[in-house]
Chains A and B, each alone.
Chain A
Amino acid sequence: MVRRRVIPCLLLKDRGLVKTVKFKEPKYVGDPINAIRIFNEKEVDELVLLDIEASRLNREPNYELIAEVAGECFMPICYGGGIKTLEHAEKVFSLGIEKIAINTAALDDLSLIRQIADKFGSQSVVGSMDCRKGFWSGYSVYSENGTKDTKRQPVEWAQELEAAGVGEIFLNSVDRDGTQKGFDISLVESVVSQVHVPVIACGGAGSTTDLIDLFDRTGVSAVAAGSLFVFHGKHRAVLISYPDINVLNAG
């Protein structure tokens, strides 16, 4: 059977790697190339690399950095951030990246996903969505790095992304980001059960047990985490780690 996929999710700001809490307070954790080299040595299943300010600053992906990253990666890598057109996507693919995450641009215009899927196949497009739980109401999808409520329901939006041609969904919980308090299981299950494409859940992983728990309790295809793999101990010292795949697949 297919192994449980565990994906370090790395956030880029300028040329540095950062980690946020609830999408805020980006803390510098190190040099991206160095970190990726370490993750490569640890033979991680896959990497997700997100430029968290490209869209907000309305700038294109940092192609030079992406090329450098791809040159270090002997595992699949998904890049997201600042891709607004098919040309941007083509350029990123040509550098040796096999998946592109589209978030903000899909909220503006879903047709970009169809264009990329038609040219490069559905497996190359990941629909990324950031969700928050409302104070009174249910969950909602947020844009602009978790700051603006789009008033869309996560399940409906995930289905729209699937219909538009994404091969995977990257489901992010803004509320749990960086908290290490565990995944938002009800959010994950609600989306997983209503789409046919694989779902990657991100936000809240605090231990390997949290990862196993999410696999056991939902039909999630992959789990992603940031803090869990870059911080160590209660003082959050920077130390890159990755769980033993045999522990994850024992259950």
Chain B
Amino acid sequence: MIVVVDYGVGNIASVLNMLKRVGAKAKASNSREDIEQADKLILPGVGAFDAGMQTLRSSGLIEVLNEQVLNKHKPVMGVCLGSQMLGNGSEEGNEPGLGWIDMDIVRFEKRDGRKVPHMGWNEVNPQLQHPILTGIDKESRFYFVHSYYMLPRHAENTLLTANYDQQFTAAVVKDNIFGFQFHPEKSHKFGMQLFKNFVELI
């Protein structure tokens, strides 16, 4: 059973919809027991960093998530803001992140002709060989909506990069922890493939 952590912020319905499409057993929940019993976890999220972290903290789930992810090594996938929350903190606010991956979240500088937020479909460049990227190549495209991006302090945590007038990290990995800046649940067959890979991870 995959549990989509329902802490009150995020695109839960779309994520569940995609999991259902790839044939996974999944449910949304904010219960400690469900999270303890889950095989895998998904951390969704949209909106502002501080609001997301505060909501997650007030849900009282951080402790159980730390336990399941860091000690029990359950695969976890952060999506969009949920991915940024895996880091240390963000220029967008003052709240500390979960600190699972050593990275900072920084803002796209305003440059001539570059609109922020970065919104739309981008191709990605795999930086590592990893089972989560089965069937994903340079032709795969994903839907992005974000004004801030992940800046890992260690190159080995960068799973995918993309280009928006500059190269930036589009996905991160560390052991059992995955983070996708884009919205795989809204990225047609490419996103479907990623979810399938996550579901099939051992």
Query: Which chain A residues have a beta carbon within 8 Å of chain B's beta carbons?
Result: 1-3, 5, 40, 43, 45-46, 70-71, 73-76, 94-96, 98, 118-124, 167-168, 196-198, 219, 221-222
Q: With the chains together, A94 CA to B188 CA distance in Å?
A: 20
Which of these, B122, B186, B187, contacts A98 with CB under 8 Å? B186
Given contacts A2-B121, A96-B11, contact A43 B17 (CB under 8 A): no
Top 8 closest pairs, chain A to chain B, by CB:
A96-B13, A121-B47, A2-B120, A96-B14, A123-B145, A3-B121, A43-B188, A198-B115
Q: With the chains together, A21 CA to B14 CA distance in Å?
A: 33
Q: With the chains together, A1 CA to B117 CA distance in Å?
A: 14
**Interface majority SS (helix, strand, loop, mixed), chain B:** mixed
Of the four ranges (under 10, 10 to 19, 20 to 34, 35 or more), the interface on chain B belongs to 35 or more
Q: Which chain B positions have C-beta within 8 A of A71? A: 17
Asked if residues B11 and A98 are in contact (CB atoms below 8 Å), the reply is yes
Asked if residues A120 and B46 are in contact (CB atoms below 8 Å), the reply is yes
**Interface majority SS (helix, strand, loop, mixed), chain A:** loop
In addition to A43-B189, A221-B120, 12 A-B residue pairs with Cβ atoms within 8 Å of each other are A2-B164, A3-B123, A45-B121, A74-B21, A96-B11, A96-B13, A121-B47, A123-B46, A123-B119, A123-B145, A196-B115, A221-B115
Give residues 1-27 of B contacting A (CB, 8 Å).
11-14, 17-18, 21
Counting CB contacts under 8 A, is B32 at the interface?
A: no
Counting CB contacts under 8 A, is B191 at the interface?
A: yes
- Most chain B CB within 10 A, of A3, A40, A98, A168, is at A98
Q: B168-202 vs A: 1/0 string, CB under 8 Å?
A: 00000000000000010111110110000000000
Asked if residues B120 and A3 are in contact (CB atoms below 8 Å), the reply is yes
Counting CB contacts under 8 A, is B70 at the interface?
A: no
Given contacts A96-B13, A123-B119, A222-B120, contact A75 B188 (CB under 8 A): yes
Asked if residues A198 and B46 are in contact (CB atoms below 8 Å), the reply is no
Counting CB contacts under 8 A, is B113 at the interface?
A: yes
Counting CB contacts under 8 A, is B62 at the interface?
A: no
Q: With the chains together, A133 CA to B115 CA distance in Å?
A: 27
Given contacts A74-B187, A122-B117, contact A1 B164 (CB under 8 A): yes
Given contacts A2-B122, A76-B186, A96-B13, contact A124 B117 (CB under 8 A): no
Q: With the chains together, A75 CA to B110 CA distance in Å?
A: 27
Counting CB contacts under 8 A, is B149 at the interface?
A: no
Cβ of A228 to closest chain B Cβ, rounded Å: 19
Cβ of A193 to closest chain B Cβ, rounded Å: 10
